Amino acid sequence: MLVPTLLMAWYSLCPLLFWARSSRYQAGDRDYVQSAFNSLSTIYQVVLPIYWGGQTIGKRAIKARIVRVDGGPVGWWTMIRRVYISGLVYAFTLGIALIVSAIMIGTREGKRGIHDFIAGTQVVED
């Protein structure tokens, strides 16, 4: 369970890392590829759960969904906090918060990581 959690956390940070890296290069083909990657990543992580009732393709496969702590559906601001604000926290702490979050998910009863606390969400089984 810890390895998939770390992989998902890394995937959450990738758009931020590519965005920061792309600012160093001049316009070119590489920027288009990075822009496409960032757009697809945003659609997958932020937009898809909003329109699919809290599910991504992976969560749908394992029959799980993201919901607010009060049980309501996730919205735009909730998903932006879950993906990007928490990604900034992970980046600013140089990955320490990411490791703490993975430990929290692996050991706590509620299985909520730092990104869940920031966004006020939880992952539940269908």
CB 107 within 8 A of CB 48: no
Q: How far apart are the first and last CA of the chain?
A: 18
More confident residue, 15 or 96: 96
Task: Give the CA radius of gyration of the chain.
Answer: 15
96-115 tens-digit pLDDT? 999 999 999 999 999 999 99
At a CB cut-off of 8 Å and minimum separation 6, what does 113 contact? 5, 9, 101, 102, 104, 105
Confidence of residue 47 (pLDDT cuts 50, 70, 90): very high
CB 122 within 8 A of CB 110: yes
Q: Is the pLDDT of residue 11 over 70?
A: no
CB 86 within 8 A of CB 118: yes
Q: How confident is the model at residue 38, as a pLDDT?
A: 81
Q: How confident is the model at residue 24, as a pLDDT?
A: 53
Q: What is the pTM of this model?
A: 0.74
Residue 98 host element (H or E): helix 96-107
